[in-house]
Amino acid sequence: DNVIGDAAVAVAHPNIALVKYWGKRDETYFLPVTGSLSMTLDIYPTTTAVRLSSEPGDTVVLNDRPAVGDAHARVARFLDLVRARAGRDEYAVVVSTNAGPTGAGLASSASGFAALAVAAAAAYGLDADARALSRLARRGSGSACRSIFGGFAVWHAGEGDGEAGDASSYAEPIDGDALDPALIVAVVDDGAKAVSSREAMRRTCDTSPFYRPWADASRVDLEEMRKAIARRDLPAVGEIAERNALGMHATMLLARPSVRYLSPRSVAILDRVLALRADGIAAYATMDAGPNVKVLCARADEQRVTTALRDAADIQVAHLGPGAALVRDDE
Ligand code: PMV
């Protein structure tokens, strides 16, 4: 009918940063103040289909509902970038479904824009290698540039602003598969956050006296994290990740007005992580733009960690997962 050709369908997984991206130096190109490092998960995939359409305007369906307002505008603006690069002008029908919670600090925007980048590039015939896809995904949601890759990935802050920054700010995979950690996701609240990460970042950069010190410490954390992963030192990886995340939340607490994503239930999980460590289990927490806590540990300890957290939250066990990829279209 109004659809031109077949759909391109892609699947991508969320990633959780162990050294966080928090703060943009360029809001147009989504250029971060600091580099970051993440692990891509094997849970909560996003599946996204993109079909070109002869109808005017982009149609966007997210989790079985038509997207309107800001959610629609973000996708349409992203498709504008793809169309400009591909030299095409057809609109598209985008159907995207998250297996996990949306907008709850569980990286649905990372898996979402990584899947959209891969599917839209294929639908519009854009010739893009993994680095180009990472740069493209970054324009939808910064953290999405890391979900193009599986396993561990580092996102380079890049040099300069504008187009120079755009060319030099992308993620790449780093070899850490031998570390093979578990990430225990403790879901205390799967509702959508009240303050977007975009707004919280902007407010933190603009007003928090803790922002600069955290950014300076985070550059050091990134270097130490790379070394800790290379020598397969899980306790060091966990310690760096935990201090980096707590520091990020400290920057937000001192923003004006303050942003606080952690709830009493998040803090209860943090207490249990401390208790696990007191019992000799190497378990470390990280938290993003929401109250849910992710606990890093060795695979050999995942059962004990899960048991310790089970009555305090809904538990999902994740491991290193795959990069974003096209899937066969059988629709
Ligand atoms: O890409 P965004 O705008 O969803 O930012 C996500 C930022 C954090 O999840 C809090 C940290 C990170 O590096 O993923």
109 C-alpha to ligand 1 centroid (Å): 8
285, 16 contact by CB (below 8 A): no
Tokens read off for 285: 């927490």
- 294-328 CB burial, b ≥16 within 10 A, e <16: bbbbbeebbeebbebbeebbebbbbebbbbbeeee
Nearest to 114 by CA among 193, 191, 41, 194: 41
Ligand 1 closest atom vs CA 36:
13
Distance of alpha carbon 83 from alpha carbon 93, whole angstroms: 14
pTM for the model: 0.96
Pairing between β-strand 65-66 and β-strand 152-155 as defined by DSSP bridges: unpaired
Q: Residue 30: helix, strand or coil by DSSP?
A: coil
Residues of the chain with CATH 3.30.70.890: 181-318
Binding-site residues, ligand 1, Cβ < 6 A: 17, 20-22, 36, 109, 141-143, 197-198, 288-289
Distance from the alpha carbon of residue 98 to the mean position of ligand 1, in angstroms: 17
Ligand 1 centroid–CA 24 distance in Å is: 11
The pLDDT of residue 122 is 97
Query: Which of 60-83 are b and which e, b meaning 16 or more Cβ less than 10 Å from the residue's Cβ?
Result: bebeeeebeeeebebbbebbeebb
| CATH for the stretch 3-177 | 3.30.230.10
Residues of the chain with CATH 3.30.230.10: 3-177
pLDDT averaged per 10 residues in sequence order, the chain, 331 residues = 77 98 97 98 97 95 95 97 97 95 80 98 97 98 98 97 96 95 95 89 98 98 98 98 98 98 97 98 97 97 98 96 86 48
Question: How high is the pLDDT of residue 84?
Answer: 97
Distance 197 CA to ligand 1 centre (A): 7
Distance 20 CA to ligand 1 centre (A): 7
Q: What is the pLDDT of residue 2?
A: 55
pLDDT of residue 1: 46
Q: Which atom of ligand 1 is nearest to the CA of 144?
A: 1
Whether ipTM exceeds 0.90: yes
CA 21 to centroid of ligand 1, rounded, Å: 6
Determine the atom of ligand 1 nearest the C-alpha atom of 289.
10
For a substitution probing ligand 1, which of 15, 20, 26, 44 has the most ligand atoms within 8 Å of its CB? 20
CA atoms within 13 A on the CB side of 253: 9
Mutate to test the pocket of ligand 1, among 39, 40, 46, 143 (most ligand atoms within 8 A of CB): 143
Q: What angle do CA 82, 5, 12 make, to 5 degrees?
A: 50
Distance separating alpha carbons of residues 187 and 265, to the nearest angstrom: 10
**181-318 sits in which CATH class?**
alpha beta
pLDDT at 120: 98
The 91-98 sheet, strands edge to edge: 65-66, 59-62, 91-98, 46-53, 3-12, 325-327
Token pair of 322 as six digits: 């795959």
